[in-house]
């Protein structure tokens, strides 16, 4: 038995060792390539591991063939088992394929602020199975990747635009009010000057001229900047005697003669 199977066993062991070394080399090359594509480190590591296992599996098949083991029944059994597993894990496999689609098409990246599937937040993590969003209240939303692919996606990127509206009385000098708003935006360090903030008269309401204030800020500064700008506009307008009217309804009662 030793004379008959010893050399074959030795060749099989050498084949497995060669497969391990080749798998490591291929894994390093793939990792270097994926790093150039700016893939996320966890996903990159997973793809490298899968590639190493596939290479090692190929060499293992060669080693088994060298030992004279019949592989056709084994392959048929694995095929039947694989079909059963695939049917039982349809949802999980759907997430994996959707995750690969997100990774390679890159509709968004970590740090982007997105709105998808009636949820919105900053992207904290992208894996093969799910995408994690973070909210300003420190909560997290984990969305299965199959719920993302094929849906309408709104990606704000790294910056968001604040939308503030303030009303001034019709007797107000609108140009002076717009100038004060510009000064407030320049004084706030959270407000980005590029792209330039959008300021103007949005509409003429029943009791006020509505001024639209729409500056851009970095995603983490959105809530704080909104609060600071609202406070600064209110205080500045009060200090300059610019009235911010509230809706009023005037009712006149007309007397009737008998």
Per-residue pLDDT tens digits for 233-247: 999 999 998 888 877
Mean predicted confidence (pLDDT) in 218-223: 89
DSSP state of 196: P
Percent of the chain scoring above 70 in pLDDT: 83
Q: What is the predicted pLDDT for the residue at 12?
A: 75
Q: What is the predicted pLDDT for the residue at 217?
A: 94
Q: What is the predicted pLDDT for the residue at 69?
A: 66
Q: What is the predicted pLDDT for the residue at 40?
A: 65
Mean predicted confidence (pLDDT) in 5-21: 77
Asked if the model's pLDDT at residue 9 lies above 80, the reply is no
DSSP state of 219: G
Peptide bond preceding 178 in cis form (omega within 30 of 0):
no
Do the beta carbons of residue 99 and residue 39 sit within 8 Å?
no
pTM above 0.95, yes or no: no
The domains located in the chain, with CATH, are 2-88 (1.10.287.1260), 107-157 (2.30.30.60), 159-239 (3.30.70.100)
Asked if the model's pLDDT at residue 257 lies above 60, the reply is no
């Amino acid at each position: 038995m030793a004379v008959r199977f010893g050399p074959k066993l030795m060749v099989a062991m050498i084949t497995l060792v060669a497969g391990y070394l080749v798998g490591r080399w291929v894994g390093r090359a793939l990792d270097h390539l994926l790093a150039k594509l700016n893939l996320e480190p966890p996903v990159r590591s997973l793809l490298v591991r899968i590639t190493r296992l596939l290479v090692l599996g190929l060499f293992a098949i060669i080693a088994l063939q060298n030992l004279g083991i019949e592989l056709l029944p084994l392959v048929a059994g694995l095929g039947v088992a694989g079909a059963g597993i695939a049917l039982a894990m349809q949802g999980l496999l759907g997430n994996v394929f959707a995750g690969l689609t997100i990774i390679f098409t890159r509709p968004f990246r970590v740090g982007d602020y997105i709105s998808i599937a009636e949820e919105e937040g900053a992207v904290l993590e992208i894996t093969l199975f799910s995408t994690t969003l973070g909210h300003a209240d420190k909560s997290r939303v984990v969305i299965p990747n199959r719920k993302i692919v094929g849906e309408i996606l709104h990606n704000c990127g790294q910056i968001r635009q604040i939308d503030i509206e303030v009303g001034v009385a019709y007797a107000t000098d609108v140009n002076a009010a717009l100038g004060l708003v510009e000064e407030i935006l320049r004084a706030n360090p959270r407000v980005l000057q590029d792209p330039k903030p959008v300021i103007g008269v949005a509409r003429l309401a029943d009791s006020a001229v509505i001024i639209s204030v729409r500056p851009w800020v970095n995603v983490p500064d959105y809530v704080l900047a909104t609060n600071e700008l609202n406070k600064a506009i209110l205080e500045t307008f009060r200090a300059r005697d610019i009235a911010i009217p509230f809706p009023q309804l005037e009712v006149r009662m007309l007397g009737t003669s008998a």
